[in-house]
Amino acid sequence: MKSALFGLAIAAGSIAVCGCAEFRSADIRLEKPLNSAHLSFSDNIRRFDVKLDRAMDLSSAAGVAFQVKCADPRVLTDCWLLFKTGHGYYRASFPVPKQAGTWTDAVVLKEDVRLYHWNSHISLYEVQLKPAQEDVPDWSRVTELQVVFSLEIDRTTADGSVAVRDFTPLAPDAPRVAAARAASRALREKRMSVVRAQPSVPRGRRFLATHVWGLDWNWDETCRMLKAGGITDVIPLMNYAGYAYYRGSKFEPPSPLMDEHGDGLQFCQAACRKHGLSCHPWRACWRMSQHTPKDRVEQLRKAGRLQVAFDGSSQYWFCPTHPENVQREIDGLLELARFGVRGILLDYFRYPGDDYCFCPRCRKLFEAKIGHAVEPWPGAVRKDAALAAEWSIFRRETLTGVLRTIRRELRRQAPELELSAAVTATPQDGEMRGQDWPQWCRENLLDRMFPMCYYSTSKLLKHDVEVQARVMKGSSTKLCPMTCFACGDIPFLELDEICRQISVVRSFGFEDLGFFRLTEYVPYVLEALRQGPLAEPAAK
């Protein structure tokens, strides 16, 4: 279902919008029961947007006041208000309502708002674009509000319906400002007490995956900050969507951004060496940019090198059964290895989803594997359960076979290199994408594995890390669940929640920590975590 007001695809249940004659009000009703499976793997079900139909001028305001109501507040874990100015999103949290079905006053002060999303540092799709002037925040033209609610996964039968109304600019001398400021200070101290109470574990490595040029396009200052914050390893995106962010690539065209900002890998490596960090370039496999010139896309399509969806459309992904595509991945990885990096992380080493790839070559190889023709193609693969199971095995074996080749070549030509991969949080989700990471662990095809555990609550994280620990038992592959400071639809996690997620990872005996991703929020987070879980070990 798609809502014109919210602009989101809802994964489970539905929403009804009522009483919206006033542009600053919305009533969001969720069907019951909430589906726990969808809530585990979809953030959209927890995200609700309230969009304004005209600009709000907050330049002279201290913040905004509004009211919120929830049918059952026990279903909510966190509430955030996001402001949009230009192309940037800024957010602050506000308390979860305490009384069911009762309108509760809420205040969000501008001084508590932090940058949430800015094109030049956040979006993978925009690493190829220059920052625009409209990225600069302008409180005189707030064009959108988003109210974000995080739902409690265990309360699937609860009513998570919410309502918000009466967004109003708050004057600096308004009586509620002083009270809100005091409450904000008290909440920050409460969260910091959670941080300080968590002990540090001096062993293990601390990885931060990020994009190309560091904060403010300055790797030297970025690495200095990361080192001071307890990070040991940087994972910078250096191959993405068919572009290289370093000079001299023989296999990928150079990113246009290098004309202005220089060689991303060279600057990152130099800064890492200077500040005592390890560099692990991150390569996005198989995926091609939608900005690729149309003649190049057409050439690849005619050559049969692009994936074909179930509906027959060509996609911007290279097919992993085509020999030239496989060699492209191997050559690109070996090229990165020759820069003397400590390791390489594979990302997107999967299919886009279960709708891929149904190209003629994949059909031919699949029919040869099972020993008979499949008619009608591809419909029979969906209708016949036995064929569907064989097809799933075929896709998993395809990617596993390519990974075996990559592992063999890297061991031969770069034996000291650490090979890692970003994988799905659960084996079930991996199977849908042809990513058989349990088998990769059994064969020790990776030195390290980063399950992408981008969750808003530690309860969601704990469930999946428990599964990962069970699957990984006995493997020499090191597991490092990668949690997020912010990702996609998840607003920045608060400090106490970040600490809870670190505690979950460590409770299963994993010493290494992984974080995604580098934003303007990271210096603030790392400075705080150095007072707790990332503190320097006490001198003996």
* Structure-token match 């990020």, residue found: 210
**Residue percentage of the chain with pLDDT more than 70:** 83
Contact between residue 227 and residue 208 where contact means Cβ atoms under 8 Å apart: no
Q: How far apart are CA 137 and CA 131, in angstroms?
A: 13
pLDDT surpasses 90 at 41:
no
The pLDDT confidence band at residue 153, using thresholds 50, 70 and 90, is: low
pLDDT surpasses 70 at 140:
yes
Cβ atoms < 10 Å from Cβ of 485 = 21
Cβ atoms < 10 Å from Cβ of 261 = 16
Which has more confidence, 506 or 203? 506
3-state secondary structure of 389: helix
**Tens of pLDDT along 426-445?**
999 999 999 999 999 999 99
For residue 30, the model assigns a pLDDT of 62
For residue 139, the model assigns a pLDDT of 84
Contact between residue 418 and residue 451 where contact means Cβ atoms under 8 Å apart: no
For residue 47, the model assigns a pLDDT of 57
The reported pTM is: 0.85
The pLDDT confidence band at residue 115, using thresholds 50, 70 and 90, is: low
Long-range contacts: 2-10, Cβ < 8 Å, 24+? Answer: 5/49, 5/51, 6/48, 6/49, 6/51, 7/49, 7/51, 8/44, 8/47, 8/49, 9/44, 10/44, 10/45
Average pLDDT over residues 11-34: 45
For residue 229, the model assigns a pLDDT of 96
Distances (CA, A) of 38 to 28, 42, 287, 362, 503: 18, 6, 26, 30, 25
Average pLDDT over residues 7-32: 40
Average pLDDT over residues 266-290: 94
Bridge pairing between strands 513-516 and 206-210: parallel
Q: Lowest mean pLDDT: which of 14-28, 383-397, 500-514?
A: 14-28
Residue type, 516: F
Average pLDDT over residues 443-464: 91
The 3-state DSSP composition of the chain as helix, strand, coil percent (nearest 5) reads 35, 20, 40
Residue type, 343: G
Report angle CA 431, 437, 438 to the nearest 5 degrees.
Answer: 100
pLDDT surpasses 80 at 35:
no
Average pLDDT over residues 387-395: 98
* Structure-token match 């008619």, residue found: 375
For residue 127, the model assigns a pLDDT of 42
Q: How far apart are CA 82 and CA 146, in angstroms?
A: 5
The pLDDT confidence band at residue 118, using thresholds 50, 70 and 90, is: very low
For residue 457, the model assigns a pLDDT of 82
**Crossing angle (nearest 10°) for helices 175-197 and 522-529:** 50
For residue 445, the model assigns a pLDDT of 97
pLDDT surpasses 70 at 315:
yes
For residue 123, the model assigns a pLDDT of 39
Report angle CA 74, 77, 81 to the nearest 5 degrees.
Answer: 120
For residue 488, the model assigns a pLDDT of 60
* Structure-token match 């109003």, residue found: 168
Average pLDDT over residues 446-457: 92
The pLDDT confidence band at residue 119, using thresholds 50, 70 and 90, is: very low
For residue 385, the model assigns a pLDDT of 96
The pLDDT confidence band at residue 34, using thresholds 50, 70 and 90, is: low
Which has more confidence, 419 or 217? 419
For residue 319, the model assigns a pLDDT of 98
Residues forming beta bridges with residue 282, ordered by sequence position: 237, 345
Distances (CA, A) of 155 to 13, 36, 47, 72, 96: 15, 8, 17, 10, 16
499: which residues sit within 8 A by CB, 6+ positions away? 194, 195, 198, 529, 532, 533
pLDDT surpasses 70 at 9:
no
For residue 45, the model assigns a pLDDT of 42
Average pLDDT over residues 381-401: 97
16: which residues sit within 8 A by CB, 6+ positions away? 27, 28, 29
Mean per-residue pLDDT of the chain: 84
**Tens of pLDDT along 93-108?**
898 899 999 999 999 9
The pLDDT confidence band at residue 358, using thresholds 50, 70 and 90, is: very high
For residue 14, the model assigns a pLDDT of 28
Q: Which of 70, 69, 94, 66 is nearest to 80 (CA)?
A: 94
Q: Categorise residue 247: left if φ over 0, alpha if ψ from -120 to 50, beta otherwise.
A: beta
**Tens of pLDDT along 473-498?**
889 999 999 998 876 656 678 899 99
Long-range contacts: 2-9, Cβ < 8 Å, 24+? Answer: 5/49, 5/51, 6/48, 6/49, 6/51, 7/49, 7/51, 8/44, 8/47, 8/49, 9/44
pLDDT surpasses 80 at 22:
no
Q: List helix spans (H) across 414-436.
A: 427-432
**Residue percentage of the chain with pLDDT more than 90:** 58
Bridge pairing between strands 76-85 and 88-93: antiparallel
Q: Is 439 exposed, middle or buried (0-12, 13-18, 19+ CB in 10 A)?
A: middle
pLDDT surpasses 90 at 87:
no
